């Protein structure tokens, strides 16, 4: 699945994966930046809480985004695939300047939304400038290759990760969330063993990647993002490893980024400071 084509004269909206457990009350810097990006006092946001089985998830984010200054916030919960064909809901989504996927279970997102008019519309809207964010399971869902589930641990092993098709806003990276808190390095590395073209992004809790139309990733939040670049991998023992055994991987590049740092997904260069955007543009 390739990302939707950006129409001539327009630019893609931001893609914003969040590592889960983002601060919502005392210092909601990530959610506040999302609202500002969507227009601040003119922001029109649609929340999709499909990943969650908690009935108040949508209404909670409605309240949060409204308190952060958004002009209009609507939670649209798609409980069945039939819901995804409802004309009124699709028309409401088409009016939004921001789409937000909540946390929960990413397989609920793929099995309910995958291949429906809702998924196609989100892809089209993002290509036309609508900013699209997701937290926890919602973050994993944003990319083409999605980590469905897997085992904890720092070492990649054959069979420790299961992949599924995601929403497909981009094919440049694979997301894992709650990264440091749940010891998920091994499963991200295992995913990259299958897809060395992609960049692995391991997002800590209360940490987000704001990825602009120029493919520059900027870090926001209190934790870190572990960037694993397998583009220049020298050796992978994936094809010669038995199930349950560790995979030998040589030549990986790893960056640890914190707030203010950035990574250019096109040139695959990392930058530490606030002038990163100009540095990145100068290097392309």
Active-site residue, from 22, 62, 144, 205:
205
Helix residue ranges, H only, the chain: 29-37, 57-67, 87-94, 106-113, 117-127, 137-140, 185-194, 276-283
119: three-class secondary structure by DSSP: helix
Is 136 an active-site residue?
A: yes
Q: Give the separation between CA 3 and CA 167, rounded to whole angstroms.
A: 9
Q: What is the 3-state secondary structure (H, E, C) of 211-248?
A: ECCCCEEEEEECCEEEEEECCCCCEECHHHCCCCCECC
Contact 35, 69 (CB under 8 A): yes
Q: Give the separation between CA 71 and CA 201, rounded to whole angstroms.
A: 32
Neighbours of 131 (CB within 10 A): 25
Beta-strand pair 235-236/249-250: antiparallel
Active-site residue, from 145, 178, 198, 255:
178
Is 22 an active-site residue?
A: no
Query: What is the token pair recorded at 205?
Result: 């809790």
Active-site residue, from 4, 52, 136, 190:
136
Backbone angles phi, psi at 196, to 5 degrees: -65, -15
Contact 19, 179 (CB under 8 A): yes
Contact 98, 34 (CB under 8 A): yes
Is 26 an active-site residue?
A: no
Query: Which residues are identified as catalytic?
Result: 136, 178, 205
């Amino acid at each position: 699945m390739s990302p939707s084509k950006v129409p001539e004269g327009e630019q893609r909206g931001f893609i914003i994966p969040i590592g889960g457990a983002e601060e919502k009350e005392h210092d909601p810097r990530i959610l506040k930046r999302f609202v500002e990006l969507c227009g601040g006092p003119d922001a029109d946001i649609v929340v999709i809480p499909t990943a969650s089985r908690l009935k108040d998830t949508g209404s909670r984010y409605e309240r949060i985004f409204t308190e952060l200054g958004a002009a209009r916030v609507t939670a649209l919960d798609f409980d069945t695939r039939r819901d995804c064909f409802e004309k009124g809901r699709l028309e409401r989504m088409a009016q939004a300047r921001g789409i937000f996927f909540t946390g929960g279970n990413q397989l609920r997102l793929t099995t309910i939304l995958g291949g429906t008019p809702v998924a196609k519309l989100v892809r089209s809207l993002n290509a036309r400038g609508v900013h699209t964010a997701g937290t926890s399971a919602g973050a994993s869902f944003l990319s083409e290759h999605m980590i469905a589930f897997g085992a904890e641990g720092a070492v990649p092993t054959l069979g420790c990760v299961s992949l599924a098709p995601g929403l497909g806003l981009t094919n440049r990276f694979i997301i894992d969330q709650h990264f440091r808190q749940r010891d998920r390095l091994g499963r991200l590395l295992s995913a990259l063993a299958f897809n060395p073209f992609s960049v692995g992004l391991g997002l800590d809790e209360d940490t987000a990647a704001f990825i602009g139309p120029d493919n520059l990733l900027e870090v926001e939040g209190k934790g870190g993002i572990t960037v694993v670049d397998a583009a220049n991998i020298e050796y992978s023992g994936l094809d010669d490893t038995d199930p349950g055994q560790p995979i030998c991987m040589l030549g990986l590049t790893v960056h640890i980024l914190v707030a203010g740092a950035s990574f250019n997904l096109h040139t695959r260069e990392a930058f530490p400071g606030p002038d990163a955007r100009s540095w990145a543009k100068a290097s392309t």
